[in-house]
Chain A
């Protein structure tokens, strides 16, 4: 107890711990206060940022943030998920579908090959490629122009499989591994787009029809599981975004979501994820 406190006989605010002299106690108090101030500053910054999110985002986003805050979520966690959500949105931007790739080191065709006798020079493919090299700076052809020959103007990954049957399937009838139909439909679409034509060991129409109707003539659990296993070989951004959206974070990680340990939210992900780290399929 310090002298002035004992003089005024009131509780002393500067009590030293046993075996500590007054100077050390002062130092301890000071560093404690400094830590406190630091904590307050960072939480104030978080709140200000969160406030600006609510103020500047569009209605549904702001409402979602507000809702999460009301549910008692940690403001820091909310802010972090908003930031990471932005990164994912950037991933999800639709690519320019009329984009063409160019050769990396030399864009022009070598003059030795520019022989008018070559049929390639007259083909549509070359015309498209020449467009892309910018030799003749023509604007990209309008979309209506490509109605019947999109394969010359678009990269393959800009395409998407459209089949009404694929939207109605319920793969969970056929497999016990997973009960998320939407995820498995996405996997099937990826399979048909990227794997099937490389090794097409079953007939697509008969398989889809029977999978839909539940008949086991041309569809079976073994086959469905095997196909889904093969589809998982290809991990597209579609799957990562899907799994992230549905806050199935464990699954997103198993599909190779690029994440650092620092970015993980332990309270949301649990300890298992931290142990699994960057494990992929």
Chain B
């Protein structure tokens, strides 16, 4: 059961990665990363870490936003940025 969810998540991730980078995609990449790590496939998991970093760069997660974000969006971005920093450091 867990594997089926996981396989579906990975499949959708591949599809969405080519289309657009979003904050949810970044969050999913982190979860897939730790799931892979838990299965001691951390080499593969590291590729998802690279994905998270790339998406964060494309989204400008750590930059000063060029146009102001809504309050909720800003909060979600901050939260994710904080977690990603904790995870990558």
Contact = CB atoms under 8 A, between A and B. Distances in A.
Interface residues of A, number: 31
Nearest to A184: B5
A200 B31 CA distance: 9
Contacts of A255: 1
Contacts, number: 101
B24 A225 contact: no
A202 interface: yes
A220 B75 CA distance: 18
Residues of A contacting B: mostly? loop
Contacts of A227: 31
A102 interface: no
Contacts of A219: 24
B34 interface: yes
Interface string A207-247: 00000000011111111011111111100000000000000
Residues of B contacting A: mostly? helix
Interface residues of B, number: 32
A230 B79 CA distance: 20
Given A201-B84, A202-B27, A223-B31, 5 more contacts: A223-B25, A225-B6, A226-B9, A226-B27, A232-B1
B5 A203 contact: no
